[in-house]
Chains A and B, each alone.
Chain A
Amino acid sequence: MECDCHSERSEESRKSLASDQSLKKEANLILHIHPTQCTDCRLCEIFCSLKQEGYVNPNLARIRIARDEARKLLAPIACPPCDEKKCIAACPEPGALTIAPQTGAVVIAESLCTSCSKCIAACDIGAIRFLRQAGRGKNGKAVALKCNQCDGDPACVHVCEPKALEYVSDHVIATLSAATGKRSPKRESEIASSHEPLLAMSRGQQVFEQLRALLAEIEKDWTQRGGQPRRRIRSR
């Protein structure tokens, strides 16, 4: 029986990557995520945490799977990285958030991170997570965690059986996009629209839904009691 889990696109991109090695030098490799292929097995989270932290703890993984209640919608969330790199622009600490020269990945220097959360707020796909843990970060209290592509050999991609994760050249994706008439899902806004509604869910509806509902209630209550509505309640 043949398996339909390998999409045509991913097969093609692999082939073209193999056939044109010259691309590899100048091209950045990016994590290309196919949410429709994801089965929510969490192997990416498990192997990511082992590689990054030295033990298994999906809560510390740099990739995570967002899901709706019926698991009809699933989305692995990780930094591809995008073109805009709003996180770097938002980071107030010089050198804390930089682009790794070999891989093109956006990496966090833990010792410089003050855990101000500005990058987390800036990232539209929710690929950066906050960890409160003693001894971590510049002030020893907390740190922001994000994917560093395992310095060019992402652990998650190896174990993703349904091929929801691929590590491919952004040139390949651009070429493919030109061939298929679809635009490259490289820009953050385009990633968001291509993963719609999965990525929206990852930040808004799913992960923070409960919290936001509660905050709305508090706000309503506040208004009813005659107070000034708070202008904006930080939800993260």
Chain B
Amino acid sequence: MTRFPYVGYAGKYLRVNLTTGKIEALSLPIEWAENFLGGNGIGTKILWDEVPPQIDPLGPENKLIVATGPLCGGLMPNVSRVEFIAKSPLTGIYGDANAGGHFGPELKYAGYDLIIFEGRASSPVYLFICDDRVELRDAAHLWGKGCEDAEKTLQKENRDPELKTALIGQAGENLVRFAAITVSWRRHAARSGVGAVMGSKNLKAIAVRGTRGIRIADPEGHRAIALRLHDQIRKNDFFAGVHRFGTAGLVSLMQPMGRFPTKNFQHGSFDGFEKISGEALREDHLVRDVACCACPVGCDKVYSVTAGEFAGATTSSLEYETLNALGAGVMNRNLPALIHANILCDDWGLDTISAGRTISFAMELVEKGILSARECEGLDLSWGNYRTMNELLRRITFREGRLGNLLAEGAARAAEILGRGTARYAMHVKGQEIPSQDGRAQQSMGLAHVTSTRGADHLKAFPVLDETGYPSEAVRRYGDQYLPELVDPLATRYKAMLVKDGEDYGAVVDSSGNCKSGGTFVMAEVYWDDQADAIRTMTGMPMDAARLKTIGERIYNLQRCYNVLHGITCADDVLPWRFTQIPSPSGNAKGSVCHLDLMLPEYYALRGWDGTSGVPRDETLARLGIGDASARIRDAIVSGDAARIRANLGWAAPYTDRAVDEL
């Protein structure tokens, strides 16, 4: 095999067969790097090539790909991300999740760009990596431990407090469909249920220590670009706010817009929001600011509770999404209880978004009288009952009782199992619970949720330009020709373009190793040209904005193609009725609904996808150099395989009719 020619990459990857225990260190294929860049892109390529759509996501045939990008661990701002890619047990389709922290860079310092896990170990194991030393070790003593305890144990027994880990808690072990993977130090790759994939493989942890470091193709050039971007980010208008409050600062910004989902999306604002705002958090609970690797922003914080029922609780990475999902989403105004819930989710390894949404789904079923008292198994599921919330988190994690076991399947599957009209209260797209944005208050976000390849998600497209109005950046990126609609959250015009561009750029960012919250989307100082320059100087690979755009589009289209193999069509590109049928009740968005009907056709046209089926056209795929995907998706559709797989995904498309009782 030819030697991998580019620096910046580690140039090697690991293929670990858990069934046989065989570990191979292989040279990174050049075409993976050149066509798919790294991280998310290479993971998508491997999934497309190696994981057939008909397999069970929790079976041994699924693969878990742990991947970093070429910029990860280098000099650029916020290059700490590590991607986890697998066929998702929550949605059954393409799934990925990424996290910051210090694990990704350490993996590269050890000399590996990515790890592919195959098969299933017969008993719990963990993978130990220290440069050339790669071993599968017994993890029986770690099984059943929470993330924090397991991490400490690993550091202790390997006598290395600098050991970085990626591990699952009890939720992953118990195959909760929205289980997360926790990476050092306490950051979480939580969406798509990647933790359950790890649990299904009997893989408790990956422990990495690297001492090799990373070379840079043009150290002086790369250093100059990185320092300039560091400086630009520090001078950005949003820097002080993001540094001070992290994403939690968004609570107070979203509330007046009516974009702060409350009570399972029944309302767009929360009358107790100031009690769970970023300001309250900082005022009452901040211990210190902390940061992921190479991040000048430091949006992560350590919080603690010093008095009351939850005294002694210490947590970090308490984000806007969590404050909403475990706060406003369930009408919980008790911040210490929320901090405690965040600790539970972190330690057991649960996605706070899906967990919170699933609990609010159950609470609404009780409100609507669908779930009987007997079915609540002794719990008082009234809105805002934080003790119930914390108890439900435990029952979900350990799949305890009928209710816990049901909710551990996620809202969409639970609705499918329950029947009785519960589907209308499951707020999901493609099986994944909708995060804390409301498409009625920000049209582009509604579109982003439905076009995301991993089910409802704000981060694939992350349309920030119209979130709070960002005209200066919009002008910098597009000129003033699209103003004012482009930055107006309630306008639908140009939003298809915004979402498509965001998805392509997001795919590149996720494949390079940067973070979307510091410099690429939020505080958008790093855009196509800078990213291309950074990759070129880091790796020595010829790169410009045009090539990078093609790579982004290629990755996103291949993810869509993978979903098409699962029978996903435009019939699944829909939002629940609440967003499209019921006018927003509050804030700036009052009276507005999400006009998917106006944006989607434009989006399909821009993408080069068929307008009636949502399937990528042959010429689009050919233009992107993945023309061979056409035949495969055509075969899957014509043979009926795709439809059969779709019928067995375990969830129904969201309920879209106007519900009679809400008229």
Shortest distance from the beta carbon of B245 to any chain A beta carbon, whole Å: 8
Q: Say yes or no: A36 contacts B244, CB within 8 Å.
A: no
Known: A41-B293, A56-B74, A58-B109. Contact between A71 and B223, CB under 8 A?
no
Q: Say yes or no: B213 contacts A57, CB within 8 Å.
A: yes
Q: Is A219 located at the chain interface by the 8 A CB criterion?
A: no
Q: Say yes or no: A71 contacts B316, CB within 8 Å.
A: yes
Q: Say yes or no: B161 contacts A161, CB within 8 Å.
A: no
Q: Is B288 located at the chain interface by the 8 A CB criterion?
A: yes
Q: Say yes or no: A46 contacts B75, CB within 8 Å.
A: yes
Encode contact with B along A160-177: 1 for CB under 8 Å, 0 otherwise.
011000000000000000
Residues on A with C-beta less than 8 A from B293 are 41-42, 46
Q: Say yes or no: B102 contacts A42, CB within 8 Å.
A: yes
The interface on chain A, measured as residues whose beta carbon lies within 8 A of the other chain's beta carbons, has a size of: 39
Q: Which 6 A-B pairs have the closest CB atoms?
A: A57-B213, A41-B291, A161-B296, A39-B291, A39-B298, A3-B240
B209 closest partner in A (C-beta): A59
Q: Say yes or no: B211 contacts A57, CB within 8 Å.
A: yes
Known: A46-B294, A59-B213, A72-B287. Contact between A2 and B159, CB under 8 A?
no
Residue of A41, A72, A206 near B292 (CB, 8 A) is A41
Residue of B213, B234, B289, B296 near A55 (CB, 8 A) is B213
Encode contact with A along B370-404: 1 for CB under 8 Å, 0 otherwise.
00000000000000000000000000000000000
Residues of A39-56 at the interface with B, using a CB-CB cut-off of 8 Å, are 39-43, 46-47, 49-50, 53-56
Q: Is A209 located at the chain interface by the 8 A CB criterion?
A: yes
Q: Say yes or no: B155 contacts A55, CB within 8 Å.
A: no
Most buried by B among A39, A69, A211: A39
Shortest distance from the beta carbon of A224 to any chain B beta carbon, whole Å: 22
Q: Is B156 located at the chain interface by the 8 A CB criterion?
A: yes
Q: Is B295 located at the chain interface by the 8 A CB criterion?
A: yes
Q: Say yes or no: B240 contacts A1, CB within 8 Å.
A: yes
Residues on A with C-beta less than 8 A from B185 are 40, 67, 71
Q: Say yes or no: A55 contacts B314, CB within 8 Å.
A: no
A51 closest partner in B (C-beta): B223
Q: List 20 A-B contacts (CB under 8 A).
A: A1-B244, A3-B244, A41-B295, A46-B74, A46-B294, A47-B223, A53-B213, A54-B219, A55-B219, A56-B74, A57-B211, A57-B213, A59-B109, A59-B210, A71-B186, A72-B287, A72-B302, A207-B161, A210-B156, A210-B159
A58 closest partner in B (C-beta): B109
B241 closest partner in A (C-beta): A1
Q: Is A97 located at the chain interface by the 8 A CB criterion?
A: no
Residues on A with C-beta less than 8 A from B302 are 70-72
Q: Say yes or no: B216 contacts A55, CB within 8 Å.
A: yes
Residues on B with C-beta less than 8 A from A218 are none
Residues on A with C-beta less than 8 A from B219 are 50, 54-55
Known contacts A3-B239, A41-B295, A74-B290; 19 additional CB pairs below 8 A are A40-B290, A40-B291, A41-B291, A42-B294, A50-B216, A56-B73, A57-B109, A57-B211, A57-B214, A67-B185, A72-B287, A72-B288, A158-B227, A159-B227, A161-B234, A207-B161, A210-B160, A210-B161, A214-B159
Q: Say yes or no: B214 contacts A56, CB within 8 Å.
A: yes
Encode contact with B along A65-85: 1 for CB under 8 Å, 0 otherwise.
001011110100000000000
Q: Say yes or no: B230 contacts A159, CB within 8 Å.
A: yes
Q: Is A4 located at the chain interface by the 8 A CB criterion?
A: yes
Shortest distance from the beta carbon of B424 to any chain A beta carbon, whole Å: 41
Q: Say yes or no: A209 contacts B161, CB within 8 Å.
A: yes
Residues on B with C-beta less than 8 A from A211 are 159
Shortest distance from the beta carbon of A158 to any chain B beta carbon, whole Å: 7
Residues of B6-27 at the interface with A, using a CB-CB cut-off of 8 Å, are none
Q: Say yes or no: A49 contacts B213, CB within 8 Å.
A: yes
Q: Is B45 located at the chain interface by the 8 A CB criterion?
A: no
Shortest distance from the beta carbon of A208 to any chain B beta carbon, whole Å: 9
Residues on B with C-beta less than 8 A from A199 are none
A53 closest partner in B (C-beta): B213
Shortest distance from the beta carbon of A153 to any chain B beta carbon, whole Å: 13
Encode contact with A along B217-255: 1 for CB under 8 Å, 0 otherwise.
001000100010010001000011101100000000000
Residues on A with C-beta less than 8 A from B289 are 5, 39, 162
Please, how many angstroms separate the alpha-carbon atoms of A86 and B30 in the complex? 52
Q: Say yes or no: A71 contacts B244, CB within 8 Å.
A: no
Q: Say yes or no: B243 contacts A50, CB within 8 Å.
A: no
Shortest distance from the beta carbon of B521 to any chain A beta carbon, whole Å: 19
Residue of B213, B291, B292 near A56 (CB, 8 A) is B213
Q: Is B215 located at the chain interface by the 8 A CB criterion?
A: yes
Shortest distance from the beta carbon of A6 to any chain B beta carbon, whole Å: 11
Please, how many angstroms separate the alpha-carbon atoms of A69 and B186 in the complex? 10
Q: Is B275 located at the chain interface by the 8 A CB criterion?
A: no
Shortest distance from the beta carbon of B227 to any chain A beta carbon, whole Å: 7
Residues on A with C-beta less than 8 A from B156 are 210
Residues on A with C-beta less than 8 A from B230 are 159, 161
Q: Is A60 located at the chain interface by the 8 A CB criterion?
A: yes
Shortest distance from the beta carbon of A35 to any chain B beta carbon, whole Å: 10
Residues of B244-290 at the interface with A, using a CB-CB cut-off of 8 Å, are 244, 287-290
Residues on B with C-beta less than 8 A from A41 are 291-296, 298
Shortest distance from the beta carbon of A34 to any chain B beta carbon, whole Å: 12
Encode contact with B along A192-236: 1 for CB under 8 Å, 0 otherwise.
000000000000001101110010000000000000000000000
B74 closest partner in A (C-beta): A56
Shortest distance from the beta carbon of B252 to any chain A beta carbon, whole Å: 11
Shortest distance from the beta carbon of A181 to any chain B beta carbon, whole Å: 26
Residues on B with C-beta less than 8 A from A36 are 288
Encode contact with B along A115-155: 1 for CB under 8 Å, 0 otherwise.
00000000000000000000000000000000000000000
Q: Is B145 located at the chain interface by the 8 A CB criterion?
A: no
Residues on B with C-beta less than 8 A from A3 are 239-240, 243-244
Q: Is B644 located at the chain interface by the 8 A CB criterion?
A: no
Q: Is B590 located at the chain interface by the 8 A CB criterion?
A: no
A210 closest partner in B (C-beta): B159
Known: A1-B240, A70-B314. Contact between A50 and B223, CB under 8 A?
yes
Q: Say yes or no: A56 contacts B295, CB within 8 Å.
A: no
Please, how many angstroms separate the alpha-carbon atoms of A4 and B241 in the complex? 11
Please, how many angstroms separate the alpha-carbon atoms of A173 and B210 in the complex? 38
Please, how many angstroms separate the alpha-carbon atoms of A69 and B214 in the complex? 26
Please, how many angstroms separate the alpha-carbon atoms of A175 and B291 in the complex? 33
Please, how many angstroms separate the alpha-carbon atoms of A53 and B216 in the complex? 12
Shortest distance from the beta carbon of B9 to any chain A beta carbon, whole Å: 13
Q: Say yes or no: A210 contacts B215, CB within 8 Å.
A: no
Residues on B with C-beta less than 8 A from A2 are 240
Known: A3-B243, A47-B75, A71-B185. Contact between A59 and B295, CB under 8 A?
no
B78 closest partner in A (C-beta): A41
Residues on A with C-beta less than 8 A from B213 are 49, 53, 55-60
Residues on A with C-beta less than 8 A from B477 are none
Please, how many angstroms separate the alpha-carbon atoms of A2 and B290 in the complex? 18
Residues of B85-117 at the interface with A, using a CB-CB cut-off of 8 Å, are 102, 109
Shortest distance from the beta carbon of B221 to any chain A beta carbon, whole Å: 13
Encode contact with A along B619-643: 1 for CB under 8 Å, 0 otherwise.
0000000000000000000000000
Residues on B with C-beta less than 8 A from A72 are 287-288, 302, 304, 314
Residues on B with C-beta less than 8 A from A5 are 243, 289
A161 closest partner in B (C-beta): B296
Residues on A with C-beta less than 8 A from B102 are 42
Q: Is B212 located at the chain interface by the 8 A CB criterion?
A: yes
Residues on A with C-beta less than 8 A from B152 are 69
Q: Say yes or no: B211 contacts A59, CB within 8 Å.
A: yes
Please, how many angstroms separate the alpha-carbon atoms of A74 and B287 in the complex? 12
B186 closest partner in A (C-beta): A71
Encode contact with A along B149-165: 1 for CB under 8 Å, 0 otherwise.
00010011001110000
B287 closest partner in A (C-beta): A72
Q: Say yes or no: A39 contacts B216, CB within 8 Å.
A: no
B314 closest partner in A (C-beta): A70
Shortest distance from the beta carbon of B224 to any chain A beta carbon, whole Å: 12
Please, how many angstroms separate the alpha-carbon atoms of A209 and B602 in the complex? 60
Q: Say yes or no: B314 contacts A159, CB within 8 Å.
A: no
Residues on A with C-beta less than 8 A from B223 are 47, 50
